[in-house]
Amino acid sequence: MTTPRSDEAEARDTAAGPLPARAPRPRRELSVFDRIVRVPPGFVWLVVLTLLTVPVTIGMTLLYYAVHGARALSAGLRVSRRGPAGDPGRFSG
């Protein structure tokens, strides 16, 4: 399916060849103001984010292992209440 816009672009590309790639944007040199005023707060913010991230990561890891431990304990309790596989016992529900 073609659209009028794609037909125009195709005609233009075939008539004049493909469009040239855009030149990269010129980079602005860092001024003294940038180096003194803007860069240090950026590094401070990076440190703050790191200090916030590490305890959250440790806490989530501990929570993960606690949940898996609780599941293992509850699964073990359920198996022990049922009794041996061949013995229906009291809890045959």
Q: Is residue 3 part of a domain?
A: no
| Ramachandran bin of 24, using left for φ above 0, alpha for ψ from -120 to 50, beta for the remaining angles | beta
Per the CB < 8 A criterion, the answer to whether 91 and 83 are in contact is yes
Q: Is residue 22 part of a domain?
A: no
Q: Is residue 88 part of a domain?
A: no
Q: Is residue 46 part of a domain?
A: no
Domain count within the chain:
1
Q: Is residue 59 part of a domain?
A: yes
Q: Is residue 73 part of a domain?
A: yes
Q: Is residue 61 part of a domain?
A: yes
Token pair 């659209």 in the structure block, residue:
3
Q: Is residue 36 part of a domain?
A: no
Task: Summarize pLDDT for 30-76 with one digit per residue, the tens.
Answer: 888 888 888 888 899 999 999 999 999 999 999 999 999 999 888 87
pTM for the full predicted model: 0.43
| Amino acid 71: pLDDT | 92
What range does the domain containing 64 cover?
Answer: 51-80
